[in-house]
Structure 1
Amino acid sequence: MTSETTRKTRLPEQVRPLGEALDGAAMTRLHILFWLLAGLGILLDGFDFFVIGVANPLISHDFRVSAAQKGLISAAAIVGSVFGAALLGPLGDRIGRRRIFRVDLWMFVVFSLLCACAWDVWSLMAFRFALGVAVGLDYPIAASYLAEILPAKARGRWLVAAFSLQAAGILLGAVAGVVILEVWPHTGSWRILLGFGALPALLIIWLRRRVPESPRWLAQNGREREACEVGRALVGSPVRVSDADRVRQEATPEGLKAFLQPRLFSPRWRRRTIFAAVPWFLMDIATYGVGIFTPTLLASLSLAGANSSFIADDIASTKGTAFLDVFLAVGFALAIVLVDRVGRVPLQLTGFAVMTGALCVLAVAGQLPGGADAHLVLVAVGFGLFNLFMNLGPNSTTFALPAEVFPSEMRTAGHGFAAGCGKLGAALGTFLFPVLLSSVGESALLYGVAGTCALGFVVTYVFRVETRGRSLEELSGAQMAAVAPRVTPP
C-alpha cells in the first residue's frame, strides 16, 4: 500500500514540461523521420542551385541573352527567395509551420514546369522569380520546425545535417545535368533540366503529408492537447504544457508589421539580428556567385577547348564542377561531426578565413605566367578548399544559428529575415558575377569576393553569440537577449 501510494505521488513529477522534455530527449526514429521530411525541401534548393548554372550557357545560346540578362535569369529565383523567406516566412509564426510545408512545394512544382515552357527570356525570369518564392519560404519553416523538435545536445548537428541535404540536391542536379546533356546534347536541353525538379518535389509532397505541427508552436497558440500528443510521441513519455511553454517574449504583430517585423531591429534583438543576417548576406555573395557560375568560371579559367562547341564546353565544365562539388559533401560531413563539439562560431570564423584564402589562390592562378591553364593544380586546390570550408563553416552555421537565437513566436520571422538577407546577397552575387567577369576579369573579381568573406569574418567575431549546449528556453529568455557575446576562440 505504501509503495503504491509512493508511485502515485511521484507520477506527476515524471510528467515533465514540454520544452524541457523536448530539449532533454534522446534522438528517436520519429525525430529522424521528421528531420528528413522537413529537410527534403532544402534538397530542392540545392538541385535548382546547380541546374541553373548548367542551363545558363544553353539558355544564353537559345535566347541570345546579354551578360546582364544572363545575370537576371540566374538571380530571378534568388530574388524571389528573398520575398519568400523575409516577407512570407513570418506567416509560419502566425498560421503554423505545417501549413506552409504544404503550399511551398506545390508552388515549386507548378513554376518548375512553367520554366520549362518559357517562351522568352522575360517569361523565364518571371517563372524563376515565383519558383524562388517557394524555395525561400521553405528555409525558415524547415529550420524553425527542426529547432523546435530536436534535442538540445543534438540540435546543431541535425540542423547542419538538414542543410547538408542541399549538397545531395546539388549532386542530384549534377547527375541530371550530365545525363540529360549526354543523352540529348542540344540547345533545348535546358527546358528538361529546369522542368525535372518537379519530379522530386512531387515525391516530397507525398512524403510530407503526415508531418505534425511543431509542439512548441501548438503550446504557444492554445492547442495544448495537440502539443502534448506530439510531444509525447517524440519524447516517449507524458508531457505537460507549463507556463514557460506558453509564455511569449514578444506580442504577435498585426497588419503590415506582421510582414516587416520591426521588432527584429529593437534594442532587445538587434545584436542577434545582425549576427544572424549579415554574415549570411556576405557568405551568399560568395557562395552563389562562385557556385552558380563555377561551370562558366572553369571554362573561362582552364577547361574551354580551343575548337570545341559551347555544348561540349558545358558538358566538360559540368563534369569538372560535379567533381569539385564532392568537397561540398565532405565539408557538410565534417560540420555535422564538429558543430556540437567545437561550436558554431569557431566553425564560422574558420570557414570565412579559409574561403578568403582559397579565392585569393584562384585569383593568383589566373595571374601567373601561362594563366590558369598552366596551373590546374592551383585551380583545383582553390575550388576544393573553397567548397570544403564553405560548408564546414558559414554555409552550415548561418542556417543553424538564426533558428536558435530567436524565441518561438518570432523564430520563422528571424530566420526568414536572415535567410532573406542571405538570398539578397546571393542575388547580388549572381547578377553582378557575369557582368563583372566580362568587364574586370576573373582575378579582380575573385579578389573582390574574397573581400566579402573577410568582412564576414569580422562581423561574426564582433557580434558572436555561441549557442552550443544551450536550450531554446535559455537562449530565448529575456535575460539572454542583450547578453554580451560568449567569448569564443577565433
Structure 2
Amino acid sequence: MILDRLETLPVGKFHYKLLLVTGLGWLFDSMDTGLIAFILPVLAKEWLLTPGQMGLIGSIGLIGMALGAVISGTIADHIGRKQVFTITVLLYSIATGLCALAWDYTSLLVFRFLVGFGLGGELPVAATLVSEYAPAHVRGRFIVLLESFWAIGWLAAACIAYFLIPVYGWRSAFIIGALPALYVFLIRLHMPESVRYLLSKGRIAEAQHIVIELEKKMHVPVTPFANEKEEMLEGPSGSFMTLWRKPFIVRTIMLWLVWFGIIYSYYGIFMWLPSLVFQQGFTVVKTFEYVLVMTLAQLPGYYCAAWLVDRIGRKYTLSAFLLCSGIASYFFGHASAAVTLMIWGAIMSFFNLGAWGVLYTYTPEMYPTSIRALGSGWAAGFGRFGGMAAPILVGVMLSRGFSIGSVFYMFAFVFIAVSAIVLGLGIESKQKNLESLS
C-alpha cells in the first residue's frame, strides 16, 4: 500500500528537487575528478614528475573510490542512504581542500586517496536513493539525468583550469573544489530518507509519514494508513555472499565486468586526455580548449541516453553506447590532425558518458532493497580496480615507447568486449517495479 502510493505519485517538484540536490553532489564529485586531470600536466612540469608518478596520482584516488564504494554501499543498507550521502560529500570536500596544502608528492597521494574514498562512496548511494524514489516509468530517465550532472562538473573543472590555473596556479583549483562542504547543509534540509529503505528496516510509521507529506505537497488526496505491519519489505540478508547466489550471481558477474571495463577505459582515457593532447604539440591553454569542446559533447550524449533508456531499454542502449565508444576511441587514437582529434574526441565523449548514465540506471535495478546499495557499491568498487590499473598502464606504455594509437587499440577492444557482455548476460528492467525485479 505504501509503495503503491509512492509509485503512483505524479512526477513533480519533489522529484526534480531530489534530482537537483543529488545532482549537485554528482557535479561537485565530477569537478573534483576533472580538476586532477587538468592539474596533472602543470604539476608534472613544476614537480618534475615521471609518467609513472603521474599515473599513480590518478590511480590512488581510484583505490580510495573502490574502498569508499564498497564500505559506503554496505553501510547505506544498514544506517540509510541519506546519512551516508551526507558524510561522503563532507569527506571529499575537506580532503580536496587539503590537496591545496600538499607540500610534496607523498602528501598529495594521501589526500587524493581520501578524496577518492568520499567520492566513491557518494556516487552509488546517490543513484540508489534516486532510483528508489523515481516512478518506474521515468526511473531510467531520472538516473541518466542525474549522471548528466557529471558532464557539467567536468565543464566547471575545465573552466577553472582555463581561467584560474594559468593565473593563480594549481592550488587555487583545489581550494575551489573544497566549497561543496557548504552543500552538506542543503542536503540535510531537502533530502528525505528512502521510503524503501525504511520499509526494509520495519520503520513503517516513518515511511508512512514521508508518503503523506509528499501527497500533501503534490495536492494528492490523502487517506490515513492502517497499521500495516505487512508493509515491511522482506528480502535476502545483506551479506556479500548473497550477491553470488541465484538469481543474483549472473547479474553480479555481468555488472562487475561491465563496471571494470567502463571505468578502466574512462579513467585511462580521460585522466590522460589533457596530457595526451599536450603531447600532440598543443600548448596547455590550447589543451584546455580542446578538452572543453570534447567535454561539451557529453551533455547531448546523456540526453540521448535518457531518451532511449525508457524506450528501447537499458540493455540495448548500454550495449550500443559501449560499442560506439569503442569505435570512436579507436579513431580518436589514430587522429592525425587537430580537427579530427576534436571530432572523434567529441563522439567518444558523447557515447562513453551516455553509457555511464545507463549503467548507473541499470545497476540498482538488479538487486532488491535489502542489498541494493551493497550490490551497487561492490559493482562500482570492483570497477575501480580497472580505474587504478589503467592510468598506471598508460603511463608505463608511453614510457616504453608505445604509440598513442596502440593505447587506444586497447581501449577500443575493452569497450567492444563489455558491450558483448551486456548483450549476452544482461536482463531488461525497463519500466518494471523495483520489487518485481528481485
Write out aligned runs for 1:164-179 (5 A): 164-179=148-163
User: 1:130 aligns to what?
Assistant: 114
User: 1:191 aligns to what?
Assistant: 171
Matched, 1:234 2:195: no
Write out aligned runs for 1:321-470 (5 A): 321-365=291-335, 372=336, 375-392=337-354, 394-439=355-400, 440-470=402-432
Matched, 1:247 2:209: no
2:199–2:233: 8 Å Cα contact kept in structure 1? no
Aligned-partner Cα distance in 2 for 1:176–1:434: 25
User: 2:261 aligns to what?
Assistant: 282
Aligned-partner Cα distance in 2 for 1:233–1:290: 45
User: 1:218 aligns to what?
Assistant: 198
Q: CA deviation at 1:31?
A: 1.5
Structure 1 residue runs of 5 or longer lacking an equivalent are: 1-16, 254-260, 305-312, 366-371, 477-490
Aligned-partner Cα distance in 2 for 1:345–1:415: 17
What is the RMSD of the two structures over their aligned residues, measured on CA atoms? 1.7
Relative distance call for 1:442 and 1:232 in structure 2 (3 A) is same
Structure 2 residue runs of 5 or longer lacking an equivalent are: none
2:204–2:229: 8 Å Cα contact kept in structure 1? no
Select 1:162's aligned residue among 139, 146, 162: 146
Structure 1, residues 235-276: CA drift from partner, whole Å, max 9, x if none? 4434758566413221244xxxxxxx1211123311111222
Identical aligned residues as a percent:
27
Aligned-partner Cα distance in 2 for 1:123–1:434: 21
Aligned-partner Cα distance in 2 for 1:268–1:243: 27
Relative distance call for 1:94 and 1:120 in structure 2 (3 A) is same
TM-score (norm 2): 0.94
Q: CA deviation at 1:29?
A: 0.4
1:469 is paired with a residue whose SS is coil
2:63–2:113: 8 Å Cα contact kept in structure 1? yes
Matched, 1:266 2:275: no
Structure 1, residues 81-116: CA drift from partner, whole Å, max 9, x if none? 100002332100001112112211221122111111
TM-score (norm 1): 0.84
Structure 1, residues 112-152: CA drift from partner, whole Å, max 9, x if none? 11111111111101110011100011112111111111111
Aligned-partner Cα distance in 1 for 2:390–2:96: 23
Q: CA deviation at 1:69?
A: 1.1
Aligned-partner Cα distance in 1 for 2:62–2:155: 20
1:467 is paired with a residue whose SS is coil
Q: CA deviation at 1:452?
A: 0.5
1:335–1:391: 8 Å Cα contact kept in structure 2? no
Which structure has the bigger radius of gyration?
1
Count of matched residue pairs:
430
Aligned-partner Cα distance in 2 for 1:231–1:283: 37
Aligned-partner Cα distance in 2 for 1:32–1:244: 30
Aligned-partner Cα distance in 1 for 2:304–2:238: 38
2:290–2:342: 8 Å Cα contact kept in structure 1? no
1:176 is paired with a residue whose SS is helix
User: 2:274 aligns to what?
Assistant: 295
1:54–1:314: 8 Å Cα contact kept in structure 2? no
Q: CA deviation at 1:212?
A: 1.6
2:237 is paired with a residue whose SS is coil
Q: What amino acid is the match of 2:50?
A: S
Q: CA deviation at 1:198?
A: 0.9
Structure 1, residues 19-55: CA drift from partner, whole Å, max 9, x if none? 2222232111011112221232211221122111110
Q: CA deviation at 1:431?
A: 2.1
Relative distance call for 1:85 and 1:239 in structure 2 (3 A) is farther
